[in-house]
Structure 1
Amino acid sequence: MERLQKYLAHAGIASRRFCEELISQGKVKVNGKTVTEMGVKIDPESDRIEVRGKLIGKPEEKVYILLNKPKGYVTTVRDPQGRPKVTDLLTGVEQRVYPVGRLDFDTEGLLILTNDGDITYGLTHPKHELGKTYVATVKGVPDKDKLKRFGKGLRLADGVTAPAKVRLLNKKGSNGVLEITIYEGRNRQIRRMCETIGHPVLELKRVSVDFLRLEGLEKGKFRYLNQEEISKLKNLIE
C-alpha cells in the first residue's frame, strides 16, 4: 500500500506538493470515487487512479537530470507567453520531468529536473538548507562593509534573509564579480540582495547546488545523474 500523493508524484504527475493540491481540489478519483483528503492509501496494482479524468498507469522510471540552463528559458513546464522552456532542451527524454526550484528567465546555470516527487519536495523544503552558489557580475565594486552585510542577513521586502556567504572573485572593468552562496530559495533572491546593497546584478549564473557542479557541461546541454549522485541527493533530504 502507498499514500496516494506519493504514488501520483512517482507516476510523474507533478511534485508531491502539487499532487496534494490536486487531491484537495477534488481532481483525483480512486476506483471512481473522488478523494479530497490526504493520507489515503492505495494499492498501485489493483486500484484504478484517475487525475482530471485521465487514467494513471504504473509509475514511470525515475530519472534525475542536471541541465546547464542558458538565458532566455523559463523554468516552468507551461508558459502563457509562449517563451522557450527548459524542458525544450531535453531531447530524447521520454519521461515528463519537472524543475527542482526555479531560475529566472535571465539567469543561467545549474538546474535539476526529475520526475521523483519526493526528491523535489525534499530539495526545496526550507529545513534542509542546501547551499546554492552563484557567480554574479554586479554594477560597481562593493566594498568590504557591504559584503559583510550578506553574512548578517539583508532586509528585503519579505523579511531578513538567512546569513549568506560572499566573496569578491575579481573585477570586470569597473564592475565586480561575486561568488554568493545562499541557503534558502526566495524569488529573485540574489538579485534583490545585490540591489539592497546598491550593486544591481548584470549577469547571474548558478554554478552549484550542494555537491553538484556544472564542470564540463556545456551551456544548453544536460546529463543524467549517476547512481552515486542520486544516493547523495537522497541522503541530503533524509
Structure 2
Amino acid sequence: MLIQLSPRDLTWNFVRVSVNPDKTDWPLVVEHLVGIFNEPIRALLDRSRITLLETAFDIYGVPHEDLYVYGMRTNKTTAIFDGGNNFYFGVQGAHRVYVHYDKRKHITYDNSKRPLQGREPLPNQSISRIEIRHKRANQGEAITFQNAVELHKYFRPISIFHIPKTTQGFTVEEGLRLKVAKYESLIVATKKMPRRQKENFIGKLKKYRFFLFKDINFEQQLERALCRLIEI
C-alpha cells in the first residue's frame, strides 16, 4: 500500500509511505508519523489518500502459466528481475489492473539480494500470486480510507481457469486457441468463433474453473487490512 499525505500544490511539503503491514513494523511507522505531525494516526489517515492499494492472494501448487483468465483482455510482459512472465488484465491506464505472476520466482529473486539471515523461506511447491492494483476509485477520484472498502464492488466479473498442459478432451483447433489465449486472453481467442462452437468450448473450460472473483470476500479483507493500520 502506498499512502500519501499531501496537498495538491506540489510546492508544499508532503509525506509518502509505502507499507506492507505484514512485513513492516507498522507501530514503529505510526510512532514516527505521530511524532512528526503531533496528531493521532486516525486524524492523519482521514485526510490522506491512497495512491496505490494492492489486494493479493496466492494459489498454491499451480504454475501461474497454467492459469487462464476469461472476461478481460490480457497483456503479457517479461519480468526482467527473474525472466518469468507477468500477465496483466485490463488497460494499463485503468483505475485498477489485474496481474498474476510466479511468486516462487519472485521470492528467489528477492532472496538473492538479501543477507542469509533475512531471506524468506522458499516454498517447495509452485505459487501463483494474483494481485489487483487499485490506483483510483470508481469515478477516477482519489482512494481514501473512507471509500477503499467499496473498491470490491467494481471488480470485473472475471473467471480464473487452471488448464494443465497435459489436458485431454480439446480438439486441435481448441488447443491452438488455448495457445493464443496465453498471449491474448480467452476472451480474444474466442471472439470470432461461431456461437455454438464457442459455447461448447467454454463448456469444456468450466470443469477447470478455479473461481469467480465475485465469490471472494474482498470487502472483508480490505476492511480488516485498513482497520489494522488504524487500530494500533
Name the one with the larger helix percent.
2
TM-score by length of 1: 0.28
TM-score after normalising by structure 2:
0.28
| Between structures 1 and 2, the one with greater strand share | 1
